[in-house]
Structure 1
Amino acid sequence: MNVAFFLLPKENVITLKPNNTMRQALERMERHGYTAVPLVDDGGKYAGTITEGDLLWKMKNSPDLRFGDTHRIFLHEVPKRRNVDPVRIDAVMDDLIKLAKTQNFVPVIDDMDVFIGIIRRSDIIEYCYGKMTPKAVFANSDKFDGIG
């Protein structure tokens, strides 16, 4: 199955730019209830993902940084504690599942590394559950006689 089936297009995804500030990221995350947001540069290319944890660690490791000063710190200055790897639009399901095990969403890029959207882990789980459930219910049914 092609991963495009699961794609939430970039028009429907909240993103930030590397030159946005920590304060803008915190406000956007709070407003939308997200813990991570993809970064997209001015050329539309995927530039990583910023997480709440990245922002918290930046605050912890910058003793002089106060919340009121977060408008002065750009996201490209915030170290990322882990890479949130993207997949290409022509990736296969196995590639997607490997990344979704450790990421809430998987960014999707085209052949030019341009960000085209995300695939949410919850959508992948829901799809897989739907594929497994009918077989599991049927196989465990008391009425299953092995014929069919």
Structure 2
Amino acid sequence: MNIAFFLLPKSEVITTTLQATLRQTLERMEYHRYTAVPILSDNGHYVGTVTEGDLLWFLKNSNGIDFDHSHRHTLSEVPLRVQNKPVHIHAEMVDLIDLAKVQNFVPVVDDSDKFIGIVRRSEIIDYCAKQMFRAPSTAGEM
């Protein structure tokens, strides 16, 4: 199955950049109620994914940085603990399933490695569930 069928396009995905401040990132995540968002470069390439945990650990472990001063620091200063891997638009569904086991969403890139959207884990689970219940059972049949 073509994964483009499951793609939430870039225009509908909340993203950030490495130049965004910690405060901007936290507020964006809070507003949209997301625990992780893709980070894009200035030219549209997928850089990585920032999580709430990344931001909280950074604030906790950095001397002199608190929420009141978070507007003075950019996302480029934050170490990303989880490396969400992207797939190319021509990837197979099995590639998505493997990544969805450990990622809330799978970033999708085109042939030029430009970010074009995400596939949500919930969409992958729905697809797998439909495949399981659609397949005829051969166990116990005569």
TM normalised by structure 2 equals 0.94
1:2 is matched with: 2
3-state SS of 1:82 partner: coil
1:132 is matched with: 132
Aligned residues: 142
1:26 is matched with: 26
Q: Displacement, 1:54?
A: 0.4
Given the alignment of the two structures, is residue 146 of structure 1 paired with residue 141 of structure 2, yes or no? yes
3-state SS of 2:16 partner: coil
Given the alignment of the two structures, is residue 51 of structure 1 paired with residue 51 of structure 2, yes or no? yes
Q: Displacement, 1:72?
A: 0.9
Q: Displacement, 1:75?
A: 0.6
Q: Displacement, 1:93?
A: 1.0
2:60 is matched with: 60
* Whole-angstrom CA distance in 1 between matches of 2:48 and 2:134: 38
CA distances 1:61-116 after superposition (whole Å, capped 9, x unpaired): 11311111111111111000010110000001111111110000000001111000
1:96 is matched with: 96
CA distances 1:95-146 after superposition (whole Å, capped 9, x unpaired): 11111100000000011110000000000001111111244xx649xxxx83
Gaps of 5+ in 1: none
* Whole-angstrom CA distance in 2 between matches of 1:94 and 1:134: 18
* Whole-angstrom CA distance in 1 between matches of 2:116 and 2:126: 22
Given the alignment of the two structures, is residue 82 of structure 1 paired with residue 82 of structure 2, yes or no? yes
* Whole-angstrom CA distance in 2 between matches of 1:86 and 1:3: 13
Gaps of 5+ in 2: none
Displaced runs of 4 or more, over 2 A: none
3-state SS of 2:123 partner: helix
* Whole-angstrom CA distance in 2 between matches of 1:5 and 1:101: 20
* Whole-angstrom CA distance in 1 between matches of 2:30 and 2:24: 10
Q: Displacement, 1:18?
A: 0.9
TM normalised by structure 1 equals 0.90
Q: Which has the larger radius of gyration?
A: 1
* Whole-angstrom CA distance in 2 between matches of 1:67 and 1:34: 18
* Whole-angstrom CA distance in 1 between matches of 2:47 and 2:71: 20
Q: Percent of aligned positions with the same letter in both sequences? A: 57
